[in-house]
Amino acid sequence: MTSNQLQHRSLLAYLWVLPVTLFGLFFALIAYWLGASVKHRHGVLEVAGNSRTPLLRALANQFDAITVGHVILGRNHGTLKRWRSHELVHVRQYERWGVLFPVLYVLASFKSLLEGKRFYWDNVFEVEARRFQ
């Protein structure tokens, strides 16, 4: 998918993911209120924290970046840049599965555990996203 295609998502793609995106926007608003910067890039909102945004710092203790619908929350601009390709794969996964994606993601992690693999690292959605890092 080219960056031009990424910037021209269909309205349907946004609507299909909207309930999850609203959840992401909630965190984005809080982060923005705490001083994070917000940019529109590749058809998604990127929220970058800084040293004064404890919410994103707490998040960053677990993740450098996380995708919630069409919102990508990152520790800072550097981590967003580093993880952008990976997180944009997660955006496409959201667009494929819509509101079912968060449930499927968790189920995929438990499937990995049941197979004796790692919860996060061997999740099939993470494996797909890592191919584009």
To the nearest whole angstrom, how small is the minimum distance from the Cβ of residue 130 to Zn ion? 7
Nearer of residues 95 and 126 to Zn ion, judged by Cβ: 126
- Contact call for residues 80 and 74 (beta carbons, < 8 A): yes
98 to 127, contacts with Zn ion by CB under 5 A?
126
To the nearest whole angstrom, how small is the minimum distance from the Cβ of residue 35 to Zn ion? 25
* Of the candidates 118, 102, 100, the residue with the CA atom closest to the CA atom of residue 110: 118
Q: What gap in Å lies between CA 8 and CA 105, rounded to an integer?
A: 25
For 72: left if phi > 0, alpha if psi spans -120 to 50, otherwise beta; the answer is: beta
Residue 129 found at the interface with Zn ion (CB under 5 A): yes
Nearer of residues 35 and 63 to Zn ion, judged by Cβ: 63
Binding site for Zn ion (CB under 5 A): 126, 129
